[in-house]
A and B are shown apart, each in its own frame.
Chain A
Amino acid sequence: MIYSLELKKAFTVSIPVLMGYIVLGFAFGLLLTSFQYPWYLAPLMSIFIYAGALQFVAINFFNAKVGFIDIAIASWFINIRQSFYGLSLLKRFKNSGKLKPYLIFSLTDETYALLTTIKDDNTLNRKYFYLFLGLLNQFYWVLGSTFGALVGSHIKFNTAGLEFSLTALFVVLCIEQYKNLKNIFPFLIGLVSSIFSLIFIPSDKMLIVSIFISLIMMFFFKKGIEK
């Protein structure tokens, strides 16, 4: 096969994502079918939406029959962080031609983290390496969620507390972020703004208000953060 070196390298670096996505995807599929939704919604959502946090939150949208405009706004805020990811990849994706739309689509938290951590290997064809990495990661996610949904729709067991897998994912990502950033300030801003809205704001508006407060605090304390 022509790009086998690129595929091999992509597989090697994607192993941590493989483990995380299989487990988390499985949890998503299981949680979805625990509310009696059909199993095929899991692969459908994982192929076309492909955003972990949003897919979990989507189950709440379905259950609560949230309005379409609210879904659009909430989805945008949940994923707004992804708009900042692309900024650091503008140059690296520049010459990727027809593959570019998919490379952009495949930019999840984990894929972005891998892409920005790994140094470009000049012996490899970059755009195919990026493509394989994106495809493999999405494949793990689709596989995990389909498997979870199939298991969940055939075997009934007590899933109480399963939604914590999402919290656990964010805790892990938070620790990884701290290792990269080595600056406690933004984490404290996130904590203060979210606890404030947890106490004073109705839970359906909490996410939007927390983001808004944290952005204000961020610019208020800009000098301190950048030190």
Chain B
Amino acid sequence: MSGSVSIDIYIAILIMVLVNYFTRVFPFIFFIKKEPPEYIVFIERFFPAIIIVILIVYTLREIDFSLYPYGLKEIFGVFFTAILHISIKNYLISIFGGTIFYMALVQYL
């Protein structure tokens, strides 16, 4: 169905374009003259670590951990990716390897 995209999708993309640029330009607009306050510096330092963990869990939100196989495939996938990255330290191998491992678990098990 190439070519037949609803106008809503273009509006949605435009909204994401604007919001995304706003998040990136924000500090350059608001903190250009004065030094950022201490609590902003604190957030700046430690929030990235927090949000990354939240995003990992967020990507797994559709999994029902109360039903068989209790999210074990996802947990194994995460550990496999982490072990790859800690041992080989190569983005390509970790992301590609982890994804293929997980796809194999989902498709063949």
A: residues with CB less than 8 A from B are: 16-17, 19-20, 22-24, 27, 36-39, 41, 44-45, 48-51, 53-54, 58, 61-62, 65-66, 68, 71-72, 75-76, 78-88, 90, 93, 100-101, 104-105, 107, 153, 158, 160-175, 177-178, 181, 183, 185-187, 189-191, 193-195, 198, 203, 206-207, 210-211, 214-215, 218-219, 222, 225-226
Contact = CB atoms under 8 A, between A and B. Distances in A.
Contacts of A81: 47-48, 51
B54 A105 contact: no
A171 B81 contact: yes
B98 A168 contact: yes
Contacts, number: 248
Interface string B52-88: 1111111111100000000000100110011001100
B52 A20 contact: no
A76 B62 CA distance: 21
Contacts of A203: 61-62
A137 B45 CA distance: 24
A58 B104 CA distance: 25
B26 to A, nearest CB: 4
Contacts of B5: 37-38, 41
User: How many interface residues does chain B have, given as a range?
Assistant: 35 or more
Contacts of B62: 203
Given A71-B12, A82-B24, A190 B52 contact: yes
A62 B82 contact: no
Q: Which 8 A-B pairs have the closest CB atoms?
A: A190-B53, A86-B27, A19-B92, A161-B103, A194-B57, A161-B106, A168-B98, A186-B49
